[in-house]
Amino acid sequence: MSSETKQILTTDGIPLEISLKKAERKNKIKAFLLVAPLLLFLIITYIFPIGEMFTRSIDDKMITNMLPKTFKSMETWDGKELPSEEVFASFLSDFKILVEKKEHGKLAQRLNKEKNGFNTITKKLFRQVKRNKIDETQSIKEQIMKVHKRWRNVEYWQAIKRTAPPYTSAKYLKAMDMYLNEDNKITQVSEDRRIHRILWLRTVEVAFFVTVFCFLMGYPIAHLLATLPMKYSNLLMICVLLPFWTSLLVRTASWMILLQQQGVVNDFFVLIGLVSDDNRPEMMYNKVGTYVAMTQILLPFMVLPLYSVMKTISPSLMRAGKSLGGTPFVAFWKVYFPLTIPGIGAGCLLVFILAIGYYITPALVGGASGTLISNQIAYHMKTTLDWSFASAMGLMLLGGVLVIYWLYNKLVGVDNIKLG
Amino acid sequence: MSKNTEFVKFDKVDKSYDGKVLVVKDLNLNISEGEFITMLGPSGSGKTTCLMMLAGFETPTNGEIYLDSNPISNIPPHKRGIGMVFQNYALFPHMTVYENLAFPLRVRKVQKDEIDKKVDKALSMVSLSGFESRMPAQLSGGQQQRVAVARALVFDPAVVLMDEPLGALDKNLRESMQYEIKHIHENIGVTVVYVTHDQGEALTMSNRIAVFNDGKVQQLSSPDKLYEEPVNSFVAEFIGENNTFGGEVTDISKDVCKVKLQNGEILANPISVTSKGDKTTVSIRPERALINPKDKMDNNQTGKIEEVIYHGDHTRVRLDLLGNKEFILKVPNSSNELDLKLGNEIKVGWNSQDARALDPK
């Protein structure tokens, strides 16, 4: 609005806009207060932890803080020849402080990760410092180089310099089975050590097929639910929702009972003569078990959005399709199916996103060939305690989900989703 | 070219959904080619079931339906070639108007340019040319209705079924759509089977009306006959307004009978009474009873005005007449000289020809 347009006043002479704001302010405050607990909850339990995860996954400040003077003096070093006397001197002074704080062990550990062999030479240097063998009036460079021949090797100094930046992408590269080599180039790890990429692919594959299976099974069920008379559809709905009322662990455990080699399903196969008793197929501790159990557990997430969409499709549309001359299949494919796409989109997105981060079920029935990336994350959280690596993988998973969401939005449109 | 008077034929059709109750009982109905026939009746009278059986969405429990002399009970809906307009339009919401109309042609593998031509023609028939690329949701109720009609006609079906197609429209639109559908029918001469519970709609549009009640056709005749000469008290009651007296026949000749009421006696036209002592309901249309009749009439009574309701073009007067406190008169707005005041006693007269003695209620 330009200032030239005449201001509209209320009957009391207050400008209309101000009056309106005043009248609405109370409602706005009320609305905000109602939302505030949830907002706070989300910030504390969701946004803050994700931020924390992110900083942890790229954090590499430890050495930056341990060797401040060294890195300062290294700034002018070209990294090709051995560094100057000044660098050696500042390294020694940093190191002395660490020795006083008894933190030199940590430094050795971290540097050893960067390049093998640091452990030994740091210990040697520590002993020299402890015994005050280093005379600061003479060339420190010469003295340190005498401690061990590796201190004379420029590669070790390059390794120190590489740890200088406070942030690192190493964890992300590691999750993709890659690392930064001495020349700051992204390199693949040797073939026998590439485990993560297989896990990522397997996770996507399992999530994809679980989504497909859920869709294939859920679509007819949802259709039946939406078209049956109320008294039957209620019963069927309870059957669909029953898994929701049972603990996830119990359900997974019951699948273990069913699927194991001496389990109910195998017994049945033997009984009807499908397989011989001494040749029972393994249906658990592999991908089969993961597929079966996850499909059953995630099925309601497919059925419910589909059901809610199908419920709104008038049965007269199918009739119209048929009366206009379409065969039942044509009427279904041209009329009914396109109208269920919002439900399909919502169901598939929901199941896929849940499946891609699934943990308990693959952990229990997956075995070696059925574990997913989430199990790897849990392993690093609980066993190796490499939290920054776990954080990096978790964030990559989150990023992947966001990419899928974005793709879905491009292809189908998020407005087209109908969850209920 | 003689028209086939048995173009659609219901032959002894029964229908039951649960094996206990008959929704349609022994239906025999012939519809001639090019006719506009309306199935009229209260909800639950079986009229929609009849339509669904004709369309192929329900199967007759007994009997057979013939379309152009061919039995159709075993033909699935999509092969019957019957156009249908649904109650809630049933336009495909994800298709444009053009795609909706092209659907029946595409499934029949019609050539593209032929489809364009036919869609164009059908749309101009319902005066919606230029709306091809709209989505159904962007149209008003009346426009959606017209698209639905055009879609049911675009593939030149022999019969078009309409299941209360105007039910969701407001009053004015409903009336103009009635004329529009009627004109379309007159122009292209398609056979139309129309289902409604709105008698006004039935009366204005149809060649013949079949009044349904309780699974049976109560009367099948042209609109004017249906209104003027109802054959039983249900039809008299259901079509238009109606004043009734319950009584007993005391004397009967060829054209006239005497009916004894609770307090009084009137002369009536014997329709479904045959002998003395028969119970009967006498039905008189409100506009057939006149106040202070100038011509000589054979029924003359005095009634007390209970209520006067102004209706614009006419005034409705409720009388207490011969013990019937719901006796309605319609007084045209032109007759100003009448003194219609509450409590006044007025003279009312009617011809015994217009008082039809029907079956007792």
Question: Is the separation of the CB atoms in B177 and B200 below 8 Å?
Answer: no
Give the C-alpha separation, A345 to A411, whole Å: 10
Residue appearing with tokens 């896990």:
A199
Reduced to 3 states, what is the DSSP secondary structure of residue B196?
strand
CA dihedral sign of residues B284, B286, B292, B295: negative
Q: Is A128 exposed, middle or buried (0-12, 13-18, 19+ CB in 10 A)?
A: middle
Question: Is the separation of the CB atoms in B361 and B238 below 8 Å?
Answer: no
Q: A418: pLDDT confidence band, cut at 50, 70 and 90?
A: low
Cβ within 8 Å, pair A320-B84: yes
| pLDDT tens track for A27-40 | 899 999 999 999 99
- In this prediction, residue A2 carries a pLDDT of 46
Q: A4: pLDDT confidence band, cut at 50, 70 and 90?
A: low
- In this prediction, residue A124 carries a pLDDT of 86
Chain B nearest-CA distance from A337, in A, is: 11
- In this prediction, residue A333 carries a pLDDT of 92
- Interchain CB contact of A335 with B (< 8 Å): yes
**Which residues on chain B are in Cβ contact (under 8 Å) with A342?**
none
| pLDDT tens track for B98-122 | 999 999 999 999 899 999 999 999 9
Q: A1: pLDDT confidence band, cut at 50, 70 and 90?
A: very low
- Interchain CB contact of A329 with B (< 8 Å): no
Cβ within 8 Å, pair A324-B155: yes
**Which residues on chain A are in Cβ contact (under 8 Å) with B161?**
323
Architecture of the B8-233 domain: 3-Layer(aba) Sandwich (3.40)
How much of chain B exceeds pLDDT 70, in percent? 98
- Partner residue facing A323 (CB), from B84, B92, B93: B84
Q: B354: pLDDT confidence band, cut at 50, 70 and 90?
A: confident
Cβ within 8 Å, pair B83-A314: no
Burial B132-163 (b: 16+ CB within 10 A, else e): beeebeebeebbbbbbbbbbbbbbebbbbbbb
Cβ within 8 Å, pair B77-A319: yes
- Partner residue facing B90 (CB), from A320, A327, A328: A320
Cβ within 8 Å, pair A324-B93: no
Q: B1: pLDDT confidence band, cut at 50, 70 and 90?
A: very low
Written as one letter, the residue type at A231 is K
How do the domains of chain A map onto residue ranges? Answer: 1-58, 61-166, 200-416
Q: B338: pLDDT confidence band, cut at 50, 70 and 90?
A: low
Confidence check: pLDDT of A420 > 60: no
Confidence check: pLDDT of B11 > 80: yes
Cβ within 8 Å, pair A323-B83: yes
- Interchain CB contact of A339 with B (< 8 Å): yes
Reduced to 3 states, what is the DSSP secondary structure of residue B10?
strand
Written as one letter, the residue type at A53 is M
- In this prediction, residue B337 carries a pLDDT of 63
Q: At what angle do helices B97-106 and B141-153 cross, to 10 degrees?
A: 20
Tell me which chain B residue has its CA closest to the CA of residue A320: B90
Cβ within 8 Å, pair B55-A319: yes
| DSSP secondary structure string for all residues of B50-65 | HHHHHHTSS--SEEEE
Q: B295: pLDDT confidence band, cut at 50, 70 and 90?
A: confident
Residue appearing with tokens 């399909």:
A344
Residue of B17, B72, B84 best to disrupt the A interface, most CBs of A under 10 A: B84
Tell me which chain A residue has its CA closest to the CA of residue B99: A334
Cβ within 8 Å, pair B104-A319: no
- Partner residue facing B90 (CB), from A317, A325, A326: A317
Confidence check: pLDDT of B70 > 60: yes
- Interchain CB contact of A331 with B (< 8 Å): yes
- In this prediction, residue B335 carries a pLDDT of 65
Rounded to the nearest 5°, which phi and psi values hold at B202?
-60, -45
Chain B nearest-CA distance from A343, in A, is: 14
| pLDDT tens track for A85-96 | 888 888 888 888
Q: What ipTM did this prediction achieve?
A: 0.79
- In this prediction, residue B2 carries a pLDDT of 56
Cβ within 8 Å, pair A319-B103: no
| pLDDT tens track for A317-375 | 999 999 898 899 999 999 999 999 888 988 998 899 999 988 888 888 877 777 888 88
Cβ within 8 Å, pair B107-A326: yes
Question: Which pairs from B75-79 meet CB under 8 Å and 24+ separation?
Answer: B76/A322, B76/A328, B77/A319, B77/A322, B77/A323, B78/A322, B78/A323, B78/A324, B78/A325, B78/A326, B78/A327, B78/A328, B78/A330, B78/A331, B78/B107, B79/A325
Question: Is the separation of the CB atoms in B91 and B113 below 8 Å?
Answer: no
Give the C-alpha separation, A372 to A386, whole Å: 18
Q: Give the CATH class of B241-358.
A: mainly beta
- In this prediction, residue B259 carries a pLDDT of 85
Q: Name which of B361, B112, B117, B87 is nearest B244 in CA terms.
A: B361
Query: What does the mean pLDDT of chain B come to?
Result: 86
- In this prediction, residue A419 carries a pLDDT of 59
Give the C-alpha separation, B316 to A161, whole Å: 104
Q: Name which of B140, B154, B35 is nearest B85 in CA terms.
A: B154
Strand stretches in A142-232, DSSP E: 178-180, 186-188
> Token digits for A330?
């044509």
Architecture of the A200-416 domain: Orthogonal Bundle (1.10)
Q: What is the mean pLDDT of residues A106-134?
A: 83
- Interchain CB contact of A327 with B (< 8 Å): yes
Strand stretches in B69-184, DSSP E: 70-71, 82-85, 159-163
Question: Is the separation of the CB atoms in A297 and A361 below 8 Å?
Answer: yes
Residues in chain A: 420
| pLDDT tens track for A273-282 | 888 888 888 8
Q: A417: pLDDT confidence band, cut at 50, 70 and 90?
A: low
Chain A nearest-CA distance from B79, in A, is: 6
- Interchain CB contact of A25 with B (< 8 Å): no
Q: What is the mean pLDDT of residues B83-102?
A: 91
How much of chain A exceeds pLDDT 70, in percent? 96
- Interchain CB contact of A338 with B (< 8 Å): yes
Confidence check: pLDDT of A6 > 80: no
Reduced to 3 states, what is the DSSP secondary structure of residue A50?
helix
- In this prediction, residue B38 carries a pLDDT of 92
Q: What is the mean pLDDT of residues B331-335?
A: 75
Run of H or E residues at B194? strand B191-196
